[in-house]
Amino acid sequence: MLSKKQITFFNSLKLKKYRKKNSLFFAEGQKIINDMIASGLIPKYIVTTIENLSDQYPTIELITAKQNDLNKISNLKTSTDLFAVFEMPENYIDFNVLNKNLILFCDNIQNPGNLGTIIRTADWFDINQIICSDNTVDAYNPKVVQASMGSIARVNICYVNNDDFFNKIDKNIEVYGSFLEGENIYHTELKSSGIVVIGNEGNGISENMLKYITKRISIPSFSKNSLTSESLNASIATALICAEFKRRTEI
Amino acid sequence: MLSKKQITFFNSLKLKKYRKKNSLFFAEGQKIINDMIASGLIPKYIVTTIENLSDQYPTIELITAKQNDLNKISNLKTSTDLFAVFEMPENYIDFNVLNKNLILFCDNIQNPGNLGTIIRTADWFDINQIICSDNTVDAYNPKVVQASMGSIARVNICYVNNDDFFNKIDKNIEVYGSFLEGENIYHTELKSSGIVVIGNEGNGISENMLKYITKRISIPSFSKNSLTSESLNASIATALICAEFKRRTEI
C-alpha cells in the first residue's frame, strides 16, 4: 500500500528541484504510461488502484493505493488509476548530426501545455531533437509530460545556454526564426535541415537571439481584417512551420 | 470601489449557468480587453486597479479595486490589473452563405484551451464562423476567452444540435473530417469552401457524425518510428488543416 512517506516523496516530484535531485519524473494514465514504456523508458515505481496488474508489469515494483490516496499524488483534475515514476533519460546533443536534421530550439517557452504540445508535434513530424534555452519550462514538469502524450519518451530534449549552444554549432546550419516581416514560409526556400527557433509566448524570440537567426520567415495571416489576431499560439506556429518543412520533403 | 456583492456577482460568471442567465462573460488583461473593444464588443463593467483610466474608457462604468479584491474575481493564476465584463454578442448562422466559406465545426471539444486556440487560429486564417455541437465546452468559459486572445470578438460562434444542423445545410457543401485512413491532405483535392469537422480530444469525431462526413482527409505523420505519437492535439490538427486550405487559395 502507498505509504505516507511515499505520498510525500511522489508529491515532491511536482517540483523541478526534487525532480532534478532524484533524476525522476512522473506520468499518469495507462495510455501515456504504456506508450512511454513501449518507447523504452523504465518505470521505477507504479502506483495503481487496479488489482492484479503484476502480469502486465512483471518487472516493476507495484504499489497499490486507494483512489483517495492516489488522488493525493495526482497532478490531474480527474486523477486516473495509474501513476508511474520514471528515471529521466540521459539526453545529450550530438553536434555531429545537428546539420543533418531539422531541429527545434525553444527560446524561453513558459507554458507547460505549449511545450508538451510542441514535443508531441515534433514526434509526429519525425523531429527527434528539441533544444531548450535554460529559461524554458522544465520538460519533466507533469503538465508538459501529460501534454506530450508520451512523446517525451521519444524526443531528445536538452537544456542549454543560448550563447554557448549557438557559438558551438556549425556555421553552415540555417537558423530559422518566425517574424511578422519575415519571408512568407509558403513561398520561400526551405532547406531539409536546420534549426527552427520558437520564441516566447508573449515576447517572441529574445533580443539576444536575433544575431543567430540566419533566415527570417513568417506564417502569413490570411485575414483581410486589420483587427485579426496578431499572432498565433506558439505551439500552433511551430506545427505550421514543421508541416511546411516536412511537406516539401515529401513532394 | 468593488463591493462584496459585485465580487459575488462577477465570480458567478465563472459558471456557464450564470453567464447564460445574465448574457455576460468576462475577459482579463489590457491587451485582450482593448482588442475586444476595438473589434466592437462593449464592456458593461471594467474593474481595475489603475487610477485615472476614465480617459481611456470614457463611456464605461469603471470600478476601482485593490489588487487584493481584483484577485478574488480573477480566473488567472497571476491576475492582471484589468477585468472587463462584456455582453454576449448575438451570434447566428447565416445558412445562405455557409456554402461560400470555409467553416469549422467543433464536435464535442472539451478542453477550453483547445477551443480558445481554435478560435484564435480561425481568426488568423480568416475563418469567421465556428459551429459547435451543444456538448462542446462553452466559448464564453473564461479559459476559452483568454486562450482566444481576443479573437472571440471577431469569430461568430454558434451552438447547435448536430443532427438539426447537418440536416439543414445545403447538400452540396463538402464536409471534411480527419481520420487516420483519410486521404493525405497534401495530395488530395480541397475546395475553397466547406465545413471542417474537428473531433473530440480523446475520441475523435463522434459516431453519429460519420454519416455527415463527405470527404475523409488525414494529416500524414512523417515519422518512420511505429511508436510515434498516434495523434495530434485537436487545435494543432485544426491549424494544419486550415493552413493547407488557405495556402492553396493563395497559390
Domains of chain A: residue spans and CATH: 4-87 (3.30.1330.30), 98-250 (3.40.1280.10)
Of A154-163, B4-13, B73-82, B112-121, which gets the smallest average pLDDT?
B73-82
Pair type for strands B82-87 and B24-28: antiparallel
- What contacts A236, CB < 8 A, 6 or more positions away? B117, B120, B121, B235, B236, B239
pLDDT, position B111? 96
pLDDT, position B77? 87
Q: How confident is residue B19, by pLDDT bands cut at 50, 70 and 90? A: very high
> Model confidence over B143-187: pLDDT tens digits?
999 999 999 999 999 999 999 999 999 999 999 999 989 999 999
From chain B, the residues in CB contact with A249 under 8 A are: 222
- The answer on pLDDT for B134 being more than 90 is yes
- The answer on pLDDT for B55 being more than 70 is yes
Chain B, 108 to 147: residues with Cβ < 8 Å from chain A are 113, 117, 120-121, 123-126, 147
Number of A/B CB contacts below 8 angstroms equals 113
Is B248 at the interface with chain A, CB within 8 A?
no
Phi then psi for A240, rounded to 5 degrees? -65, -40
- The answer on pLDDT for B251 being more than 70 is no
Distance from CA of B248 to the nearest CA of A (A): 10
From chain A, the residues in CB contact with B156 under 8 A are: none
pLDDT, position A230? 77
Q: How confident is residue B84, by pLDDT bands cut at 50, 70 and 90? A: very high
Contacts 24+ apart (CB under 8 A), A2-10: A2/A47, A2/A63, A2/A64, A2/A65, A2/A66, A2/A69, A2/A70, A2/A73, A6/A45, A6/A47, A6/A63, A7/A69, A7/A72, A7/A73, A10/A45, A10/A47, A10/A73, A10/A83, A10/A85
> Residue range A138-162: average pLDDT?
97
Would you say B154 and B192 are in contact if contact means Cβ atoms under 8 Å apart? no
> Model confidence over B33-42: pLDDT tens digits?
999 999 999 9
Q: How confident is residue A116, by pLDDT bands cut at 50, 70 and 90? A: very high
- The answer on pLDDT for B212 being more than 60 is yes
Answer whether A250 sits within 8 Å of B222, measured CB to CB: yes
The C-alpha cell at A103 is 531541429
pLDDT, position A29? 95
pLDDT, position A58? 82
Instruction: Compute the mean pLDDT over every residue in chain B, rounded to the nearest whole number.
Output: 94
Is A64 at the interface with chain B, CB within 8 A?
no
- The answer on pLDDT for B120 being more than 90 is yes
Would you say B36 and B152 are in contact if contact means Cβ atoms under 8 Å apart? yes
- The answer on pLDDT for A251 being more than 70 is no
- Give the predicted TM-score (pTM) of the model: 0.94
pLDDT, position B5? 96
Is A156 at the interface with chain B, CB within 8 A?
no
> Model confidence over A71-100: pLDDT tens digits?
999 999 888 899 999 999 999 999 988 889
Gyration radius from chain A CA atoms: 20
Q: To probe the interface with B, which of A223, A231, A238 has the most B CB atoms within 10 Å? A: A223
